[in-house]
Structure 1
């Protein structure tokens, strides 16, 4: 028997994206009618979600796959789970695979939780007697016993994840593939899942592929890591080495602080200069932010003038990994006017509860005095947000369902 669990050679996946030609504007109905008689005049673009990926995973290894949003992580897992086919290259899987890629993966919405446990086991090639032997353990781990005979379509996303993970981990797969979906569960259940994956890998000798933005969880669980960016394999090495490469590649310094050196591109008059940016959480410097915590960007500003400068506006824009502007800050919005003394000054841009979901973001800073630009640093600092506690029950939206989190309340009003 080979000791290779997964072998990937020259793997690639592309999609065809259509774009309307620039300046082309037609009525929607006219578009549809014209499309019946004449091919669409849109331009086609080939987008490679994965390109020339090569790696090998041994039996019993726990491997973390990391990278920014859009790096190709989920596409890779879908190919290895045989949900989608590659466009080029080949891969070989030696062993029974159980995947948890999306909430309720592999569940039939009309069937009950009980029926879905047996359905999933059958799909994995297990006999009814084997499933029955594991049944009580699955139900106990999931904590959904009360709703076991309720159709899954009535489950909350958290309940689906609980049952789906329990089924995926307990029905004796030789290879367990788990995406960021665990972030949907509460903090206690996430910890329970990580413990189970650790046990499956280290104690039972099974192979685990784990995609997550939570560097702490990945580092604790996985010995080896794979870093993807823009569909390409950047690093395949020890987990610690891969995480450091990830942080360095996107300016995610281990100290959570960036010193603005003279070689960094900046615009403006220069009487005021931003010297450093530091991540602060609960009054302490940190390497990354966690969802829901009291957080701040600590901005160090040098006043090169010989006297205090008034009417200062410090603005900050935060973009996601795709370059979409998430939010904008300015002390003009809060009507706070700062006087910066000669020499070094520090301003904290504060969050009472950090509202961003898991991912990598970039910070743009803009500093003016009396409306004149003194310093402008575009996308100068990348920072990472990891999973945390925003709502008291520890639950978070499923991956891709939200970009920012908000305080919320529901109130029933009856006549």
Structure 2
């Protein structure tokens, strides 16, 4: 295999064979390629694209570049969900235990915050003692005994993806649909999944702001995952406002516990979580229809079984056994909490969801640089949904900040991120489509 020949052929728009791609990714994983060669390959793909067969081959090659998990000793369907990222998107925290309570095994490999979007791992690290990188034995036991485990990617899973992504991040090739597809799915295939449901976000708080581009990405992910042998579907969901009524880390963890306790019914978040639970159950053959799947998920919530699964997972992975009963004992609160007031009377008509995510980072709840330490206490809670009628001077959110000055800045920024109109807005559905 001559790397520059593969790069040249892709640069010229030729279709690469599975053997070519496998050889190139094998050399990448073995450290036999220079960063220049990796960057040139990524740029060639960015400009010339890839056929569906090429993307399947790239995904499989990256999935096979390290360990692949097997779950032969678990007699439940192995399923997972992945989101392309948003603001106030803590769906995974509730979805995994709900799905497990309904009979699935959910080995969920999650990530940290990326850009303005929050990360599931960062939220979990607000729980004292919770380990996001357990050894393989503990991970396996948690999935088998609790039914689910939400952890971070280890260096042994799809290592070629890690090296390729690091180069893409500094060569302006992150936003390539073939490379996004292979990056997401290689880790999921390595996790040994049988079924997968994808949450492709669209809107001003998503990486895909355009509906057409979101649909292209969703189709690519679904077709490639199914082509690689994993039963997969995708829901396209709205990210023009935060999904939960909180954005941050500990505040979203509190939101999760409230959800599992049944205190977030009839919200946009409730709609999305239950829809994904139903889709996972149907794809895995446990439910015959989405309606039946949703009924099963609601029963898991109302009976307290999903909360029990979550508590067991947290305890097995090093967290406190009584987190659900005593959240204030473990989830740190910011020293300053300040209401954000509506600047005028009217309807909350629109908001800059991306700006809200950036404001969380400004408070210290996200990273500007990879080595930054996160303040898990900070963020926003009690965010009112769009379509709410407010009066001037009424609170539309609550800021959680490390000091008074930061609270003042965040409150002013958040108020500026909302548009208040005299007319009631016409809002679209939170679930925009199914692929």
Is the shorter-chain TM-score for this pair beyond 0.5, marking a shared fold? Answer: no
In terms of fraction of residues, the more helix-rich structure is: 2
Q: Using structure 1 for the length normalisation, give the TM-score.
A: 0.27
Higher relative contact order (CA 8 A, sep 6+): 2
Q: Using structure 2 for the length normalisation, give the TM-score.
A: 0.26
Q: Please say which structure displays the higher CA radius of gyration.
A: 1
In terms of fraction of residues, the more strand-rich structure is: 1
